[in-house]
Amino acid sequence: MKKITIEFRIPFTFQVKYHKDGWSAKCIEYDGIVTGGKDKNPSDDEVIEMMEDSIKTAFNI
């Protein structure tokens, strides 16, 4: 498990979990902001891009 923080004027911290069939990330500060993928070994850049997209989607940015 890993924690990654993204700054969009306020911090968003995600708890990242890796599973046998992919990965998932859940925002600690805001329920309902989640993302994930089927790639079993994603790059940090890919994970961060998906997290940023989930934040933008949640707040209609």
Rounded CA separation 41/10 (Å): 28
How sure is the predictor about 43, in pLDDT bands with cuts at 50, 70 and 90?
very high
> Long-range contacts of range 19-23, CB-CB < 8 Å, 24 or more positions apart?
23/47
pTM of the model: 0.81
15-36: pLDDT as tens digits: 999 999 999 999 999 999 999 9
Q: Is the dihedral of CA 47, 48, 54, 58 positive or negative?
A: positive
Average pLDDT over residues 36-55: 93
Residue 60 is predicted with a pLDDT of 85
Q: Average model confidence (pLDDT) for the chain?
A: 90
Amino acid 24 reads S
Rounded CA separation 28/51 (Å): 12
Residue 6 is predicted with a pLDDT of 76
